């Protein structure tokens, strides 16, 4: 805050003070030092705006004419095309001062006010009125798109919560396999659509978000609501995954398949997990497929696999320059806790700590939420035959689907549920 003095910068704004104004200045000098930050003066801002702290006054500010008058009483001339606007007013009920030099100090409430002297209208208004501004913006010529886009674009396919062997409101294994086959057909259509609109991906990522089989050991009811044995569940999941990856391998020059640990697929004895986090049927199936593809490098040499480390159940991938994390979601009790869990992973330096995008399953419904500084959490929908226990408890009915999205130089786009 600059003290109110005659400087070269202020000279153009100052006019000779009248006798009444000089008298007011003498009364002002009878006030003690102002509270910190409320010293009388002027501060210049970028663009010509001035912030003015006026001397204390007995009455509150009454309106724009009064604001202007108080500023001009300081000897400031408001330039043409500028206005005075009140930005802060503070009532000080215990201010003490001397009305006349030499007399005892008295306590009397005062108002301390701060104003800005600013252009009467925004700078852009000089270009014309609002109608012209909108008209010109809408009629601008679009920049031609480059004929060849050499930046990598990646397609991410999220296969989540199929729970092979589960019987529910939407059927059993025959209905599950038919549903998945139909979603794979939609995936073929989606890839074709992306090419049509000029956003064809050059690489594909298969993200298995867990719970590939229903299992028998999570809850007692599972032993009576399945239509497959455990080995049959694993076999169905393996063959479905082979089909999905084969479709991608035939269309893309590079394919990456990833999976994570989950609760239904975890090897258990009763409700208790057996072994490390990687003791998981979904991870085992992905390992089996990796072994099979390795036997035929001519057909599948461009397919690679990512699985969790032995004592971890999450992974992260570099997808077109963005870090994408994959976790099942059983690590937290409610979907609303996903953000807190993700933040906590940074302290533990876990695989998903630095992810720009986090993919999770487990909660059988779609949800997407921006968290932190532009990070994206995607809760994938399920492919299973219906979560009847959840519907009975909450009334919510989850819709099945295969989630897809793309990642390119500008981030993520083309998110769809097939």
220-259 per-position pLDDT tens digit: 666 677 899 999 999 999 999 999 999 999 999 999 999 9
148 assigned to some structural domain: no
Per the CB < 8 A criterion, the answer to whether 376 and 413 are in contact is no
The pair of structure tokens assigned to 283 is 């991870």
pLDDT at 17: 42
Residue 66 to residues 49, 62, 85, 91, 287, Cα–Cα distance (Å): 19, 6, 10, 17, 79
Strands 106-107 and 96-97 come out as antiparallel
Residue pLDDT, tens place only, 198-217: 999 999 999 999 999 988 87
333 with 272, same domain: the answer is yes
Closest to 383 measured CA to CA, from 288, 217, 244, 232: 244
- The boundaries of the domain holding residue 103 are 2-125
164 with 279, same domain: the answer is yes
**Per-residue pLDDT band at 127 (split at 50, 70, 90):** low
282 assigned to some structural domain: yes
Instruction: Give the separation between CA 247 and CA 255, rounded to whole angstroms.
Output: 10
343 with 259, same domain: the answer is yes
Q: Is residue 275's pLDDT more than 80?
A: yes
pLDDT at 148: 52
Q: Any idea what the Cα angle at residue 106 is, between residues 102 and 108, rounded to 5°?
A: 140
Residue pLDDT, tens place only, 386-412: 877 667 777 777 789 999 999 998 899
28 with 80, same domain: the answer is yes
Q: Is residue 29's pLDDT more than 50?
A: no
174 with 232, same domain: the answer is yes
Residue pLDDT, tens place only, 76-110: 888 888 899 999 999 888 777 666 666 667 788 88
Residue pLDDT, tens place only, 295-311: 999 999 999 999 999 99
Q: Is residue 369's pLDDT more than 60?
A: yes
106 assigned to some structural domain: yes
81 with 201, same domain: the answer is no
Looking at 106, 125, 144, the residue that finishes a domain is 125
Q: Is residue 176's pLDDT more than 80?
A: yes
149 assigned to some structural domain: no
175 with 324, same domain: the answer is yes
Closest to 403 measured CA to CA, from 209, 220, 173, 142: 209
CATH number, domain with residue 201: 3.60.21.10
287 with 330, same domain: the answer is yes
144 assigned to some structural domain: no
Instruction: Give the separation between CA 112 and CA 38, rounded to whole angstroms.
Output: 7
111 assigned to some structural domain: yes
Cβ count within 10 A of residue 7: 11
Question: What end-to-end distance do the CA atoms of the chain give, in Å?
Answer: 61
Closest to 82 measured CA to CA, from 113, 108, 121: 121
194 with 293, same domain: the answer is yes
305 with 198, same domain: the answer is yes
91 with 194, same domain: the answer is no
- Of the candidate ranges 19-23, 61-65, 181-185, 202-206, the one whose mean pLDDT is the lowest: 19-23
37 with 110, same domain: the answer is yes
pLDDT at 129: 72
138 assigned to some structural domain: no
137 assigned to some structural domain: no
* Domain total of the chain: 2
Q: Which helix (H) or strand (E) holds 289?
A: helix 281-294
């Amino acid at each position: 805050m600059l003290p109110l003095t005659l400087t070269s910068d202020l000279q153009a704004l100052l006019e000779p003070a009248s006798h009444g104004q000089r008298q007011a200045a003498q009364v002002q000098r009878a006030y003690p030092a102002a509270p910190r930050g409320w010293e009388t003066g002027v501060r210049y801002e970028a663009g010509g705006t001035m912030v003015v702290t006026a001397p204390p006054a007995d009455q509150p500010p009454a309106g724009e004419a009064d604001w202007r008058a108080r500023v001009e009483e300081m000897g400031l001339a408001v330039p043409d095309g500028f206005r005075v606007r009140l930005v802060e007013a503070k009532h000080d009920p215990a201010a003490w001062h001397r009305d006349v030099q030499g007399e005892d100090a008295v306590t009397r409430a005062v108002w301390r006010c701060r104003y800005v002297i600013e252009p009467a209208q925004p700078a852009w208004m000089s270009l014309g009125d609002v109608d012209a501004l909108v008209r010109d913006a809408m009629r601008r010529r679009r920049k031609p798109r480059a004929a060849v886009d050499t930046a990598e674009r990646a397609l991410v396919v999220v296969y989540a919560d199929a729970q092979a062997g589960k019987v529910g409101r939407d059927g059993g294994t025959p209905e599950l396999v038919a549903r998945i086959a139909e979603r794979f057909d939609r995936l073929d259509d989606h890839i074709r659509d992306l090419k049509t609109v000029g956003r064809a991906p050059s690489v594909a990522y298969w993200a298995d978000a867990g719970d590939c089989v229903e299992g028998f050991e999570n809850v007692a009811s599972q032993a009576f609501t399945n239509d497959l044995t455990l080995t049959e569940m694993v076999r169905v999941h393996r063959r479905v995954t082979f089909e999905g990856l084969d479709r991608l391998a035939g269309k893309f020059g590079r394919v990456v398949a990833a999976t994570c640990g989950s609760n239904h697929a975890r090897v258990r004895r009763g409700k208790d997990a057996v072994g490390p986090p990687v003791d998981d049927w979904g991870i085992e199936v992905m390992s089996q497929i990796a072994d099979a593809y390795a036997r035929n490098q001519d057909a599948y040499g461009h397919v690679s696999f990512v699985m969790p480390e032995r004592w971890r159940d999450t992974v992260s991938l570099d997808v077109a320059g963005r870090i994408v994390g994959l976790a099942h979601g059983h690590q937290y009790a409610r979907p609303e806790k996903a953000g807190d869990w993700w933040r906590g992973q940074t302290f533990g330096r876990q695989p998903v700590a630095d992810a720009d995008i986090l993919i999770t399953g487990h909660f059988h419904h779609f949800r997407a939420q921006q968290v932190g500084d532009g990070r994206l959490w995607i809760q994938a929908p399920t492919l299973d035959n219906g979560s009847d226990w959840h519907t009975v408890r909450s009334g919510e009915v989850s819709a099945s689907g295969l989630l897809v999205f793309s990642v390119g130089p500008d981030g993520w786009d083309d998110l769809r549920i097939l």
